[in-house]
Structure 1
Amino acid sequence: MPYDFAWLDLVAFVWFIAGWTGFTIIQDHLMSGRRMVNQHLKIIRRHWMERMLERDNRIMDSQLLGHTMHSCTFFASTNMLVLAGLVGSFGAIEHAHDLVLSLSFTVKTSRQLFEIKMVTLVVIFTFGFFKFTWALRQYNYCCALIGAAPLPPLPPEELRPTADTIAQALTLAIAALNGGMRAYYFALAVLAWIVGPILFMLATTAVIVVLTRRQAFSPTEKVIRVQMARLERSQSTKPQ
């Protein structure tokens, strides 16, 4: 352990891990049915799959799925570029360390601690790469499920369970994509660690606040929630 790895650095790092892990668990596993964009979209995707099963022509559905797959491919490719840049920086780590030390607003750290901070960034973007590639694999599985979906008309007792299954598979793919994108946000917080541990904690808190606001208190959440409620009401009044 570097001699200048202070208790404040440890507190900041623990806060970072706890914040990222806690936000992910709450967002992806403990907020079912609550006021969150991702939870609303789970229901909307089920309605989408129900409409898909009612259509003979599913070109539009394949185009929509392809759009999200292209977004995932873009982030995976960008992630590889960032990783290549970070790994390449280790070839000039001494120069990078001297450059950071020359800045007036950074906390002076040893080269060993600076390397730990850089390795942390590499680990985060590696995690993001695995998330993006896993999301792409799951999107391919969704393509198979949609391609094998039965043609209309489907009996009501078969339509809803089939739509639920495909929608759940699509939600798992999107959850992996969201996990990779989340890594980008928290990597920005780690960049603040280069300046100092206090800014690291503040940046981690800011990332959590921003993500929470977008998920639960943004105008986008309100619009999606209203449309979700409208779809649920229309389904409840639809003759069986």
Structure 2
Amino acid sequence: MSAFDVFGEWFSQFASADWIALGLYLSGLFGYRYFLAFMLRNRPHSLFLGKLQEYRNAWIGAYSGGKEGIVVVQTLRNMIMSASFLASTAVILIMGALNLLPGLGATARVADFAGASNDSLTGFKVLLIIIILSYSFFKFTWYIREVNYMSVILNIAKDKLDEIEGGDSTPDIARMFLTSGIHFSLGVRGYYFLVPLLMWFFSPILMSIASVLIVYILIRRDLGPEVRLTGKQKG
């Protein structure tokens, strides 16, 4: 059986509610990703990530150039440890999802609270979970890669960095910091978008509700013209 036949069998099992739920989920997933990219490019100060970047820039100014090397190494080490934990968790969850595939019938029966289910549809749901987890794993490992670079760069004397970059090196380090932070944030958001997929095992209606709630919560969390690290707004 070809891959097209497999996907054709999966899609033939979709009820109208499943198509609506999947459409809402994908619209929320890609729509939110586009929204985040648009805001970071055009109105970064309206986002929590943009405000957080100001704190990162202040930290770079305080500790770059080999100043307080122990503080720099310890801070970056903590950042790598948190990302490593989340990346390892993604691998464990991927292995767990793969172990569900041989027993799809049992999984479908356990999760079937709202109507008829079948092995093909359950297999598609598990595949989506594996894809989202793989995306998060990639983002976390890319973040670790970027932070490893910064652990070397931030311990080089600033005048030497400026010489290498042919000018003030601070903006280049800040951009690297911002890029790595975006990778980490997208990896975490991949975990958030697992919730609707898990709800799909029980009901496409629950998946639709979860998709809307997740996008609403994330946008509400991200927006705010003067968001502090505490999550509160001025005034």
Partner in structure 1 of residue 200 of structure 2: 193
Q: Percent identity?
A: 22
Q: 2:107 aligns with which of 96, 100, 118?
A: 96
Q: 1:10 aligns with which of 1, 8, 19?
A: 19
Structure 1 residue 54 displacement after superposition: 6.8
Structure 1 residue 222 displacement after superposition: 3.8
SS in 1 for 2:114: coil
- In 1, the alpha carbon distance for the partners of 2:50 and 2:184 equals 15
Partner in structure 2 of residue 213 of structure 1: 220
Given that 1:56 and 1:151 are in contact with CA atoms closer than 8 Å, whether structure 2 keeps it comes out as: no
SS in 2 for 1:106: coil
CA distance 1:223–1:179, change in 2 (3 Å): closer
SS in 1 for 2:20: helix
CA distance 1:226–1:11, change in 2 (3 Å): closer
Structure 1 residue 53 displacement after superposition: 3.4
- In 2, the alpha carbon distance for the partners of 1:100 and 1:85 equals 16
Given that 2:21 and 2:208 are in contact with CA atoms closer than 8 Å, whether structure 1 keeps it comes out as: yes
SS in 2 for 1:198: helix
Q: 1:43 aligns with which of 34, 51, 54?
A: 54
Within 5 Å, give how 1:1-240 maps onto structure 2. 1=8, 2=10, 3-31=12-40, 32-53=43-64, 56-101=67-112, 105-150=113-158, 161-216=168-223, 221-223=227-229
Structure 1 residue 39 displacement after superposition: 0.7
- In 2, the alpha carbon distance for the partners of 1:225 and 1:213 equals 11
SS in 2 for 1:221: coil
Given that 1:106 and 1:194 are in contact with CA atoms closer than 8 Å, whether structure 2 keeps it comes out as: no
Partner in structure 1 of residue 3 of structure 2: none
SS in 2 for 1:20: helix
CA distance 1:195–1:184, change in 2 (3 Å): same
Amino acid at match of 1:207: I
Q: How many residues align?
A: 220
Structure 1 residue 190 displacement after superposition: 0.7
- Say what the alpha-carbon RMSD is for the aligned residues: 2.9
- In 1, the alpha carbon distance for the partners of 2:193 and 2:231 equals 27
| Residues 60-93 of structure 1: per-residue CA shift (max 9 Å, x gap) | 1221121111100000111111111110111222
- In 2, the alpha carbon distance for the partners of 1:64 and 1:111 equals 47
Tell me which stretches of 4 or more aligned residues in structure 1 moved more than 4 Å: 223-227
| Residues 150-202 of structure 1: per-residue CA shift (max 9 Å, x gap) | 269x9xxx99x322211211111121111111111101111111122222111
TM-score (norm 2): 0.82
Amino acid at match of 1:193: W
- In 1, the alpha carbon distance for the partners of 2:67 and 2:107 equals 59
- In 2, the alpha carbon distance for the partners of 1:53 and 1:111 equals 55
CA distance 1:116–1:56, change in 2 (3 Å): closer
- In 1, the alpha carbon distance for the partners of 2:149 and 2:60 equals 15
CA distance 1:82–1:59, change in 2 (3 Å): same
- In 2, the alpha carbon distance for the partners of 1:195 and 1:97 equals 9
Amino acid at match of 1:63: Q
SS in 2 for 1:148: coil
Partner in structure 2 of residue 234 of structure 1: none
- In 1, the alpha carbon distance for the partners of 2:232 and 2:206 equals 38
Structure 1 residue 18 displacement after superposition: 1.7
Amino acid at match of 2:45: R
Structure 1 residue 47 displacement after superposition: 1.6
